[in-house]
Amino acid sequence: MRSFSLPLPVLLSGFVAVLVGYASSAAIIWQAAVAAGASAAQIAGWMTALGIAMGVSTLALTLWYRAPILTAWSTPGAALLVTGLQGLTLPETIGVFIVANALIVLFGVTGLFARLMNIIPHSLAAAMLAGILLRFGLQAFSSLDGDFILCGSMLLAWLILKGVAPRYAVIAALVVGALIASLKGDIVTSSIVLSPVLPTFIAPTFSLSHALGIAVPLFLVTMASQNAPGVATLKAAGYDVPVSPLIVVTGLLALLFSPFGVYSICIAAITAAICQSPEAHTDKTKRWLAAAAAGGVYLLAGFFGGSITGIMAALPVSGMQMLAGLALLGTLSGSLHQALNHENERDAAIITFLVTASGLTLWGVGPAFWGLAAGGISYCVLRLARRA
């Protein structure tokens, strides 16, 4: 009987893909859960559920299609939730997750995904995302004022690695931040536990204002900034996989896990590119092994979700703010470029950006919705005026 083994580059690519994903956005998810009023134990349960859901979906899709299909949580979606969930109860938060994931399933089943992306101008979707992410960039650099040594060291480490090995820049910032905080005695290790924490079921409550103000923008951000680039990355790597089944599977799994804290599961782009590159395997037909390895690492990370949450809680708040800001810097700059790249759409895009960034809330509906609404109206009026 022939033994089965995975080459070291394959295992390493799978491990690095998951590590980059967690290092880049686990801090943001932790902030979103805190904004919703979740306790440390509940947040640990959320991380467990997210890890298991991503592991199961990655393994299922990768093994079925024999293609390197990596799933992930929506980092921009988590950023939206940090502000959107302020003042909500946990049942209301779960209701938001269910509505957003149900919309994803609906658009996957009906094939409306591509149509929606054609209806909403890409510049406005990018401007909305940039408005959501702006506070993270501002927060990161304002943290230099309170803890210059820690945050300055993280920024310097990020800058150096960004120039020579961009893939590991965020990881370098995390490592340096943990080292500096440890030397300063700012790490609280009492919250770090190595035992698994099971997720707890939370019964949802639903609200129309929360659905319009948070769930719909979460749905749009997940589809436009995660699923669309994820599918594009997969196709650019030469893997022709049917899109609708990917959306349906990830959406259904997220919907099933929503009461346990899973706000989204989507097709990965940046981390997936690690498993889709020649560094993962020289043979394109065998790169799916790297994604399968990542799925196994996801399951392991889910099993130790409590430990990951403990690490997030152990680090100083200023360090976490700097880490989140640096992790989202590329997404923020890319979104601004896409938003302002088309001259005819620039005015509507900047209105979308400013309204979203302003934090405007009307009738209980949050700023992401109003930013998109204001930008959409401006886009239509300006377009009609130019035609006239």
Question: What is the distance between the alpha carbons of residues 200 and 205, in angstroms, rounded to a whole number?
Answer: 16
Written as six digits, the tokens of 148 are 């210059």
Least confident of 23-32, 102-111, 160-169, 364-373: 364-373
pLDDT at 188: 62
Of 274 and 145, which is predicted with more confidence?
145
Which of the residue ranges 14-23, 143-152, 287-296 would you say has the lowest mean pLDDT?
14-23
Closest CA to 279 of 7, 78, 3, 1: 7
The CA-atom distances, in angstroms, between 195 and each of 10, 87, 257, 301, 309 are 28, 31, 21, 12, 12
Buried b or exposed e, range 281-298, using 16+ CB within 10 angstroms: beeeeebbbbbbbbbbbb
Rounded Cα–Cα distance for residues 305 and 307 (Å): 5
Q: What is the arithmetic mean of pLDDT over 35-55? A: 88
Quick one: 237 exposed, middle or buried, by C-beta within 10 A (0-12, 13-18, 19+)?
middle
50-64, 128-142, 204-218, 259-273: the lowest-pLDDT one: 128-142
Tokens of 265: 């599961």
Q: pLDDT tens for residues 100-128?
A: 999 999 988 887 776 665 677 778 877 87
- The reported pLDDT for the residue numbered 369 is 73
Give backbone dihedrals phi and psi of 22, rounded to 5 degrees, phi first. Answer: -70, -45
Note the pLDDT tens digit of each residue in 159-214: 998 888 876 787 788 888 888 888 887 766 655 556 677 888 999 999 998 998 89
Distances (CA, A) of 370 to 81, 179, 208, 218, 355: 15, 42, 15, 13, 7
Q: How far is CA 372 from the centre of its chain?
A: 20
Q: How far apart are CA 234 and CA 44, in angstroms?
A: 31
- The share of the chain scoring above pLDDT 90, in percent, equals 26
0.75 exceeded by the pTM?
no
Q: Which of 38-52, 86-100, 167-181, 266-280 has the lowest mean pLDDT?
A: 266-280
More confident residue, 260 or 27: 260
Q: What is the DSSP string of 215-266?
A: IHHHHHHHIIIIIHHHHHHHHHTT----HHHHHHHHHHHHHHHGGGT----E
| Of 273 and 286, the one with more pLDDT | 286
pLDDT band at 67; cut points 50, 70, 90: very high
Q: Is the pLDDT of residue 384 over 60?
A: yes
Distance CA 15, CA 36 (A): 30
- In whole angstroms, what is the distance from residue 372 CA to residue 359 CA? 13
Confidence at residue 112, expressed as pLDDT on a 0 to 100 scale: 76
pLDDT at 308: 64
Note whether 359 and 84 are within 8 A (CB): no
Question: How high is the pLDDT of residue 269?
Answer: 75
Contact 211, 99 (CB under 8 A): yes
**Confidence (pLDDT) at 275:** 82
